[in-house]
Structure 1
């Protein structure tokens, strides 16, 4: 796909009759957990008889994104629009907002669903031409701007923007109780339709992963950014090796800080203990490491933790964002973010744990996730949010309409 705006169209996505909704999903990067969430929703909504389209960035994701989007085409009766989008605020955002508005008008969208800070802004700012019915505006933050540290200038700025945009939001579909709580605390706003829609995973993802004979001791999967706590993980690895443990770490992913992190590992004397590999299917990656470590400083409800827990992968994670919601009663096992000593102690516990005891712990977490994070439930809760917002709008319009004039008595 070219860097300029382009549209890919296919025929009707469903043979189940006339679609109930014409849904346009809007987001920036076709990578990571947010993209997986949108892909899952598209398949669920298409199978339910709705007509779906999407708008996303044309400059990120590379060949993996092209392949994933091509695989989605049979479910996208309303096609794909790709247009260049910047991660941070930029004058080019005006062009994107106009592209979103134009596409929503062309397909007569009934639902305009924005994902992430950028997608949510585009979907809610877009103004359709006069005479075109305004769609329901839905917003799923996926963490985004809510993850900035409270009190900082950037946090205050973005919460101010969210406060303004909330007036153009018909339904909030928060992916975690954590983000919903941050919204209530820092944004507030008038009453809206609100749903907590946890990310969901498929039944096939609960098959236990089998580790390779040459698996690394530790595994990190995710974006290579310092905000993910990777420097803390590298410091932890130094401490483990200083105790005489020849621990090895595999880092799977890509990101803006990759070169700096590779250099940091070299300066710490870890070149022979740390390996870097590009993004790959998660089950392939999980088989390459015996303990997955999530050292994040901020998160929402990460798919990578859900997927690893479902596959009975031993896990060490920080206590941030919505991760305690995934761990449930096992949340007491989580560690303080930014603390290499706490992270080391948690890793040592799993390294030294009896094999049967560790397997039982992993199975218990997998069973808990299966009971609470269903993909089917996720899809149903999103559609329920749309329906409630439509009902709320219809009721408001009815209440705002002047009463009908009565015929005078004859």
Structure 2
């Protein structure tokens, strides 16, 4: 697999903060695909997050990433740790001499692009994939204003914007006030052929599944409120809640206060396909998203889905299914959607899910994502006059 027989292999350094969630999945998919296409690839990220899973993944990849895996302490919010991490990133880039520094997320965008501000004649290019990041903050607040000021400053240090969804590309234009003045393209997240194998629900012991982080943006509290409303009507669907996060204790307490604790089983993060097989339908009650992998993976596996209409989720659902999406922060509507889904005959649920899987197969392919990213790099290198 190569992007062009005549094109030279590239040296690519991926820079991001936390080896967690969809952003980490994206980096891993892109990095593996780039290695398969003959490129030299490295990773620079945080050493204090990710836990055993990240350690295991990096151990497995160590022999394939010829530019290595470099991990240093990083903080989620601005702190003195940033300066040390920034200096480490600069030293690593100088030592590795990459052709491309691909920045992921807000913090990765800072570490990879600030040095480029002061290197107008540099021989490498910067690429930036926001993954929501700064653009998911609510407009009007102080944090949003600060982050948008940083994004405006770093725009001139970005050779190629690689937006992972049309939604985030639109947010950039709305919040910054214009389309990127440098090169930009939308390269949609993609999933592999193996992920389209249907899930066997024959042994499912739960009615519903939530899988994701346990924090406010994911709307799990709205889901618990919806379960409480259904309980008053005499309906008690069992739900498996798979994930971890800063709000876990609070959400567990909320299930007790709302009288639904006996319906809710909390489990730590686990492989998604294993979790999907344990429930008849999946619920995504998010308040904010970009183009979430959890929905791409579930939709590809033909898992019946209930989801809010936030971020780029409507892009995943496409024109034939987006009318099924519901508003965020509305437990009454969510309870109704759950009631309707569970009342639907199984054949109808699975047919609906299979139709969505077909749409995802046609529009969200892993190879298209990897090739689109590399093509973006080469366009940026050509614009900078670097042979590629």
TM-score (norm 2): 0.94
> Partner residue of 1:12?
none
User: In structure 1, how many angstroms separate the alpha carbons of the residues matched to 2:45 and 2:121?
Assistant: 22
Match of residue 330, structure 2, among 339, 342, 353 = 339
TM-score (norm 1): 0.89
User: In structure 2, how many angstroms separate the alpha carbons of the residues matched to 1:159 and 1:348?
Assistant: 41
> Partner residue of 1:136?
125
* C-alpha distance after superposition, 1:136-164 (max 9, x if no partner): 01000000110111122211111111111
Given the alignment of the two structures, is residue 85 of structure 1 paired with residue 81 of structure 2, yes or no?
Answer: no
> Partner residue of 1:272?
262
> Partner residue of 1:399?
none
User: In structure 2, how many angstroms separate the alpha carbons of the residues matched to 1:130 and 1:311?
Assistant: 46
Given the alignment of the two structures, is residue 31 of structure 1 paired with residue 20 of structure 2, yes or no?
Answer: yes
**Structure 2 segments unaligned to the other structure (5+ residues):** none
Q: Is the contact between residue 223 and residue 253 of structure 1 (CA under 8 Å) also seen in structure 2?
A: yes
Q: Per-residue deviation at 1:17?
A: 11
Matches within 5 A, 1:8-407: 20-126=9-115, 133-187=122-176, 188=178, 191-211=181-201, 213-329=203-319, 330-394=321-385
User: In structure 2, how many angstroms separate the alpha carbons of the residues matched to 1:129 and 1:267?
Assistant: 54
| Structure possessing the higher relative contact order (Cα contacts under 8 Å, 6 or more residues apart) | 2
Q: Per-residue deviation at 1:206?
A: 0.4
Quick one: structure 1 residues 351 and 252, their matched pair in 2 at CA, closer, same or farther if it must change by over 3 Å? Answer: same
Number of residue equivalences: 380
Q: Per-residue deviation at 1:214?
A: 4.6
* C-alpha distance after superposition, 1:308-336 (max 9, x if no partner): 00011000000000000000021010000
> Partner residue of 1:4?
none
Q: Per-residue deviation at 1:23?
A: 0.5
Deviates more, 1:212-221 or 1:73-82: 212-221
User: In structure 2, how many angstroms separate the alpha carbons of the residues matched to 1:45 and 1:31?
Assistant: 20
User: In structure 2, how many angstroms separate the alpha carbons of the residues matched to 1:326 and 1:361?
Assistant: 14
| Rg larger for | 1
User: In structure 2, how many angstroms separate the alpha carbons of the residues matched to 1:206 and 1:327?
Assistant: 15
Which stretches of structure 1, 4 residues or more, deviate above 3 A after TM superposition?
16-19, 127-134
Quick one: structure 1 residues 110 and 128, their matched pair in 2 at CA, closer, same or farther if it must change by over 3 Å? Answer: farther
* C-alpha distance after superposition, 1:96-120 (max 9, x if no partner): 1111111111011110001011111
Q: Is the contact between residue 146 and residue 182 of structure 1 (CA under 8 Å) also seen in structure 2?
A: yes
* C-alpha distance after superposition, 1:195-226 (max 9, x if no partner): 10111100010011112535211110000002
Q: Is the contact between residue 27 and residue 118 of structure 1 (CA under 8 Å) also seen in structure 2?
A: yes
Q: Per-residue deviation at 1:132?
A: 9.7
User: In structure 2, how many angstroms separate the alpha carbons of the residues matched to 1:345 and 1:295?
Assistant: 13
Root-mean-square deviation over aligned CA pairs: 1.9
User: In structure 1, how many angstroms separate the alpha carbons of the residues matched to 2:116 and 2:300?
Assistant: 42
User: In structure 2, how many angstroms separate the alpha carbons of the residues matched to 1:222 and 1:126?
Assistant: 34
Aligned-partner SS, 2:262: coil
Q: Is the contact between residue 98 and residue 126 of structure 1 (CA under 8 Å) also seen in structure 2?
A: no
Q: Is the contact between residue 156 and residue 182 of structure 2 (CA under 8 Å) also seen in structure 1?
A: no
Q: Per-residue deviation at 1:288?
A: 1.5
> Partner residue of 1:398?
none
Q: Is the contact between residue 101 and residue 127 of structure 1 (CA under 8 Å) also seen in structure 2?
A: no
